[in-house]
Amino acid sequence: MMTRFAQLLHGGLGALAFLAVAPWVAAAQETPPACNVRSLGAVGDGVKDDSAAFRRALTSAASRVHVPGGTYLLGPEPLDVPPNVALCGDGRGTILKPAPGTAVLLRLAAGAQVRDLAIDGAGVKTGETNDGMIEIRNASGCLVDSVVVTACDRACVLADHGDDLTIRGCEFRKVGMGVSLTFSNRVKVLGNTVVDARLHGIQFWGNWQWQTLASEDLIFANNYVKNGGGGAIWGAGGRRVVMSGNIVDGANDVGLDLEWCQDSVITGNSVRNCENGGISLFYACKRITISGNTVANDREIRDPEATWFVRAGIWLTPPNRETYKDDHGHEDVTIVGNTIFSAPAKAPRRGMWIGAEARNILIQGNAISGPGIFYGGHHKVTPQALAPVAQPVTLTDVPTPDKPAF
């Protein structure tokens, strides 16, 4: 009969013998090693087309594809980053250069990552809000981290039906748009820089024919947007959207903007140099908190004849039933503890303008320099019949004499 020690020794030797004759068992449990695009033929001189080498690397079963410093000419056909594969550079010295006529450079599958590299987008086709250079479509769990994009005249990162995404620490300069999220959920856009955007800085879109708010649980935090196109950070059709700690310096329309959104927060941001509104709500928003923001309402008035709207630091628009027939004004909005400075100008700039038909709008504890708080006015009705309001106040569908018939 075997002793207990002999049994253990026998079992251990048997296991060692098994591994000795079957080394593939241990190897099969290891994570595939990183793959270097240079080892598969990439040159990185900015002249030779390195697309084939990148495709070999991306389909090599390696979980990490390393792109060392250099300039890599790619495209015009998209490169697919497979599920759970990370495409990683060595920082700004790793430059991807899309060939002239490239539209989509990288397409990310579920769990794919792009990190620590730069993209010179000068060769990329011009596109609009739903045209991306890095695209995430119908995929989840993707990461875009520390990517620098210059001269890309379309959305640098586009997510269309993308869930559980993170876009962080990126720089987008002289672009069509930094980030565009369409019908996407549980997305974090954190600590990015957008400078000189033609369309918008950062946007989301969940409005489906004014029937479904199709974007949920979005966080836009600690981003810097300078000259953010029509809207620096904005979106429509979202639930539980948080805009916090962002700095906005310049927008041709509005700085931070929610349109037809619910259960959302705009807090702790710094906004200046926006044409029509520093912080704004459009199209029947509900259950919104606007608190602790600093707004310098200081942009020079460029179109003093456009008197149907009034420029404001914080602007809750009146109903626009021409666009959305069920727009009955904003409801359950708290505006507390903001600081608003309105610079002297040739045309009027208000600290705050709350459009007519608003319901349960609590306003208190805001520090306002310059023209204060005004209520009233209707969409494209002139002259605006605005009444000054003193805080604290709760506005609930206060009657106005100029309500239009739609």
| Cα angle 207-303-353, degrees, rounded to a multiple of 5 | 55
| 8 Å CB contact between 103 and 129 | no
- Taking residue 234's Cβ as centre, other Cβ atoms within 10 Å add up to 26
Q: Is 189 helix (H, G, I), strand (E, B) or coil?
A: strand
pLDDT at 17: 37
| 8 Å CB contact between 382 and 359 | no
Q: Is 147 helix (H, G, I), strand (E, B) or coil?
A: strand
Among candidate residues 25, 109, 30, 39, the one with its CA nearest the CA of residue 68:
39
Determine the average pLDDT of the residues in 175-191. Answer: 98
Q: pLDDT (tens digit, 9 = 90+) per residue, 15-70?
A: 333 333 333 333 344 546 799 999 999 999 999 999 999 999 999 999 999 999 99
Domains of the chain: 65-395 (2.160.20.10)
Q: Partners of 147 in the beta sheet?
A: 117
Q: Is 213 helix (H, G, I), strand (E, B) or coil?
A: strand
Please, which pLDDT band fits residue 317 given cuts at 50, 70 and 90? Answer: very high
Q: pLDDT (tens digit, 9 = 90+) per residue, 112-154?
A: 999 999 999 999 999 999 999 999 999 999 999 999 999 999 9
